[in-house]
Amino acid sequence: MAEQKQANHGQQDWEDRACQTFSAERKEDFVVLVLAGITLALVWTGLVGPQFFKSLFF
């Protein structure tokens, strides 16, 4: 009985962990898309051009 209870508890832990992971991965995906969108806008508007990268280094 105690073993069964512990097993159920363990199962719940994993389910919670999986839910948290995938909710976080969803957020992560949205952040990724937003960052890519901002980058694209910067390049399209010409704010970031071919000299930008070289200007970052000595």
Residue 33 binding another protein, by CB under 8 A: yes
Tokens (6 digits) for 57 = 């280094």
Where in 37-56 is the site for another protein (CB under 8 A)?
37, 39-40, 43-44, 48-50, 52-53, 56
Query: What gap in Å lies between CA 43 and CA 45, rounded to an integer?
Result: 6
Write out the two tokens for 46.
């010409």
The first and second tokens of residue 25, run together, are 């991965």
Please tell me whether residue 21 binds another protein under the rule CB under 8 A: yes
The SS3 call for residue 49 is coil
Residues forming the site for another protein (CB under 8 A): 7, 10-11, 13-15, 17-18, 20-33, 35-37, 39-40, 43-44, 48-50, 52-53, 56-58
